[in-house]
Amino acid sequence: MAAALQKESSTIPIVFVSLADPIGAGFVASLARPGGNMTGLTTFEASIAGKWCSMLKEVAPGIKRAAFVANPEIQTYDFYLRAAQSPAAALGIDLVPTPVKAATDITNAIEGFARVPDSALIVPPDVFTVVHSELIIALAARHRLPAVYAFGYLVSAGGLMSYGTDRVVEMRQAAAYVDRILRGDNPANLPVQAPTNFETVLNLKTAKALGLSVPTGLLLAADEVIE
């Protein structure tokens, strides 16, 4: 959507949200000084990928490999894959790129991946996997695969756990930027804001079904626990 709006106007101020890499996407010249008619908030940052890996290791210490399930045509695919590689390796997790472009790809990939013991799933923010989240959650449950997601509502839908930004805070911050622009501020001079509020969501019912015991530390760090 941001790309479509950018093509329509280079003068009308545009405040974006839910972007991971606005510089790489060509929306701004820099985070500190966007330089054009676009500014806003990034929803995720690279360090979040490391948190996904560590959460998997905490809840299932025996994990040796994790499928990175996402659509490679989504612009942020490489961004998050690169960000997850080093922390995964440091934790002794073999990160396996698992590109999917159709529902059948998801089924085949997860079923094939589940044949090897001590496997898990990382599902980064991706419109495609959100659309097919019901299938991914069902397959993870069927094959007893621990999985970590980027959005808490996927945990409410039956996923094991998530770590991501607080979307309510993000939208309020975006509204504040709209207000400033309407009062005369130039978006070219309004820095792109990085996320500052994060939330961890756990589903103990799903953990029990997978035979997992959630560590006390992870429970205490959770913002929401579904029982």
For residue 161, what pLDDT is reported? 98
Identify residue 224 by its one-letter amino acid code.
E
Q: What token pair was written down for 200?
A: 């961890």
Domains 2-42+167-197 and 47-160+203-220 share a fold: yes
Strands (E), the chain: 14-19, 38-42, 65-70, 94-99, 119-123, 147-149, 161-165, 198-203, 224-226
* Lowest mean pLDDT segment, chosen from 29-38, 43-52, 55-64, 192-201: 43-52
For residue 21, what pLDDT is reported? 81
Q: What is the assigned CATH class of domain 2-42+167-197?
A: alpha beta
**Topology of the domain comprising 47-160+203-220:** Rossmann fold (3.40.50)
197: left (phi over 0), alpha (psi -120 to 50) or beta: beta
Q: Binning pLDDT at 50, 70 and 90, where does residue 20 land?
A: confident
Question: Domain spans of the chain?
Answer: 2-42+167-197, 47-160+203-220
Higher per-residue pLDDT: 197 or 182: 182
